[in-house]
Amino acid sequence: MKTNENLPETEGSPLSLRRTVWNPYLVGAGIGILSWLAFLLVDKPVGMSTEVSKFSGWAASIFVGWDSVTNNAYWAGKTPAFGYSTVFLLFTGLGAFISAYFGKDLSFEPVPSVWEKYQGPGVAKRQVAAFLGGAILLYGARMAGGCTSGHGISGTMQLALSSWVFFPVMFVTGIITARLLFRNKGTSN
Amino acid sequence: MNLPIPTSSTGGLVIAAILGLIFGVLLNKGRVTDYNVIVNLFRLKDFTVVKIMMTAIVVGGIGVFAMMGMGLIEGYHIKDANLLGVALGSGIFGVGMALYGYCPGTAIGAIATGRLHAIVGFFGMIVGGIAYALSYGWVKANILGVWSYGKVRIPELTGIPTGVWWVLLAAGTGALFYLIERAARSTPPRP
């Protein structure tokens, strides 16, 4: 597959898959229109964290058995089952892969550059942080009843009170955490 | 064809695949599958996420409101406003998102583009989900019932109609974008 090196911002279609980056306002409008289609076609808003927690249920069933999982008060209400949202999640991954393949954005990235600058190049340290961050993230998402997709986009666009509480609070704690993680070490950025 | 299509039908699964594919492309092209873009939002250095999310909310919200007015959509699908749970949960979520550098949706995208730490963090998410399921009984008894107002929408709460809210939100978002773009022009680009 032959692709142009560093397709300049001004050349080609603004929606060419070979561009690494699209205009963020166009991307946002695209996600908005995607939400129309989701409501219109299947009457189901876009969400992600409920589906990820199903993977938790499947993983737990390996160790404690399926009955223990379905007897759990949480999974009894949201029984892990392959379905619409599983397909949506898997194809979200496929879409990102296709986009990154043509846009030359595939990368192993064991340690991302901003992390490396403030926390050092240690690979293990970054993996531990990502693991902890992921655990904290999903725990919070389940307690809040949604994530950046379910609350941040789908809930806010329906003017749900819960989602408009979610948005500012996660933003503030995110900023505080970033302050602690990325303290200036004399080098200005 | 009768709409909506049942999500459990073959047609529903095909739609899930198409919408998921588009969502994945949009997340990647919007660069929100990039760790640096997410953490630089929390460092107030990159407002890509704000541009994408606020545009999505305004475009999506006005469209959903219009389709509801035309009778094309049956009703809203919103989450319970059990405000202590939402406030605590979103606070915890923000900490995790700054540390991980992704949210659940963008993590799926980042995993698919090969990012090792995104993959490791996915296993963290699985553990977080298990921890929540194990503590659910306690959380439900002690947190989820506090300040619980049910499926409340802001128009009902405030008495200001949905249409007025969208005029206000669209205007506010436009003003926010203007300020973001003006600030970007007046400061030299940073690495």
| Cα–Cα distance for residue pair B167/B16, rounded to 1 Å | 31
Q: Is the pLDDT of residue A189 over 60?
A: no
> Do residues A95 and A117 share a domain?
no
Nearest CA in chain B to A171: B94
pLDDT digits (tens, 9 = 90+) for A106-130: 999 999 999 999 999 999 999 999 9
| Cα–Cα distance for residue pair A70/A161, rounded to 1 Å | 31
Domains of chain B by residue range: 10-186
| Cα–Cα distance for residue pair B5/B71, rounded to 1 Å | 16
Most A CBs within 10 A among B78, B106, B142, B190, hence the mutation to make, goes to B78
> Do residues A20 and A92 share a domain?
yes
Residue type, A138: L
User: Is A173–B155 a contact, with Cβ atoms under 8 angstroms apart?
Assistant: no
Mean pLDDT of chain B: 95
pLDDT digits (tens, 9 = 90+) for B15-58: 999 999 999 999 999 999 999 999 999 999 999 999 999 999 99
Mean pLDDT of chain A: 91
> Do residues A129 and A75 share a domain?
no
The answer, for B147 touching chain A at a CB cutoff of 8 Å, is no
CB A161 within 8 A of CB B81: yes
| Cα–Cα distance for residue pair B64/B106, rounded to 1 Å | 23
> Do residues A102 and A18 share a domain?
yes
Domain for residue A3, yes or no? Answer: no
Q: What ipTM does the predicted assembly reach?
A: 0.96
Residue A43 domain boundaries: 10-107
> A122: phi > 0 → left, psi -120 to 50 → alpha, else beta; which?
beta
User: Closest Cα to residue A85, out of A143, A146, A132, A33?
Assistant: A146
User: Is A139–B129 a contact, with Cβ atoms under 8 angstroms apart?
Assistant: yes
Predicted model pTM:
0.94
pLDDT digits (tens, 9 = 90+) for B154-190: 999 999 999 999 999 999 999 999 999 999 998 766 5
Q: Give the torsion sign (CA, B190, B54, A7, A113).
A: positive
Q: What angle in degrees, to the nearest 10, is found between the helix axes of B104-112 and A49-64? A: 70
Give the pLDDT confidence score for residue A98 in this predicted structure.
98
Last residue of a domain, one of A51, A86, A107: A107
* Burial tier of B69 (Cβ tally within 10 Å: 0-12, 13-18, 19+): exposed
Last residue of a domain, one of A88, A107, A126: A107
Last residue of a domain, one of A54, A80, A107: A107
Please compute the mean of the pLDDT values over residues A82-111 and round it to a whole number: 96
- Helix, strand, coil percentages (3-state) for chain A, rounded to 5, are 65, 0, 35
Nearest CA in chain B to A167: B90
CB A41 within 8 A of CB B114: no
> Do residues A136 and A162 share a domain?
yes
Domain for residue A166, yes or no? Answer: yes
Cβ-Cβ contacts under 8 Å, B27 against chain A: 92, 95-96
Q: Is the pLDDT of residue B1 over 70?
A: no
Report the number of distinct structural domains present in chain A: 2
Give the pLDDT confidence score for residue A183 in this predicted structure.
87
A164 to chain B nearest CA, in Å? 9
> Do residues A124 and A57 share a domain?
no
Specify the DSSP element, H or E, that contains A106.
Answer: none
Please compute the mean of the pLDDT values over residues A146-157 and round it to a whole number: 94
